[in-house]
Amino acid sequence: MPSTEEIRVWDPFVRVFHWSLVVLFAIAYLTGDEESRLHIWIGYAILALLAARIVWGFVGTRHARFRDFVFPPRVILGYALAMVTMRARRYLGHNPLGGAMVVTLLVCLSLTGITGYLLLPGEASSPDQIAAATLAPIAMARANGRDEHNRDDDGLLKELHEALADLTVILVLLHIAGVLASSLVHRENLVRSMITGRKRAGPD
């Protein structure tokens, strides 16, 4: 008989991190097209969250640590094969494939944020100057008949920033598919666990 006892797996930090990231990522993605101060503030918030999560990956609770969910490629591949044949074993923390996706998401989000930061004109690194630096130079460049945004050589960087953001969206869709597949295979609601922090105890 499956156990009905529940144990705590995801600590409050991981849960707040996750759902804040979901909301902030959606806003960042939707505000990227405009010259938006909101986009930059949200982008900084995402970078701050990522930095905190990376530190937590070394000092946090058991299942939040990288050590708990970073596996060698052989194990990840084996798990992927087992998943296809519905024989994947259950993990209390992230499974090897899920863990690989978490790391990929963290890397892609960081690269998206960093390329976004590099897109800003030099003087915009201080938050106080964001408004002036993002809006005024663009207007000035346009008034002077220069190419868009006072960032003539940044076209490629902007493309890269956008491509990374799009790649992250694809990864998120795969991530959600993985969460649903895993929930079905092991007959548990992983989305609920990411809200309550609790999971069914039992074979790990």
Positions in the binding site for ligand HEM (CB under 6 A):
14, 17-18, 21-22, 25, 28-29, 32-33, 35, 39-40, 43-44, 46-47, 53, 64, 94, 98, 102, 105-106, 109, 112-113, 116-117, 119-120, 149, 158, 161-162, 165, 172, 175-176, 179, 190-191, 193-194
Q: How many CA atoms lie within 13 A of 113 on its CB side?
A: 20
Instruction: Pick the closer one to ligand HEM by CB: 3 or 196.
Output: 196
Least Å from the CB of residue 94 to ligand HEM: 4
Instruction: Pick the closer one to ligand HEM by CB: 149 or 198.
Output: 149
Least Å from the CB of residue 119 to ligand HEM: 4
Please identify which residue in the block is written with the tokens 């902007």. 158
Q: Are 117 and 40 in contact (CB under 8 A)?
A: no
Enter the DSSP assignment of 121: -
Instruction: Pick the closer one to ligand HEM by CB: 38 or 81.
Output: 38
Q: Which two tokens stand for residue 153?
A: 């050589």
Least Å from the CB of residue 44 to ligand HEM: 6
CA distances (Å), 33 to each of 12, 36, 66, 151, in order? 33, 8, 34, 16
Neighbours of 74 (CB within 10 A): 9
Instruction: Pick the closer one to ligand HEM by CB: 38 or 84.
Output: 38
SS3 call for 198: strand
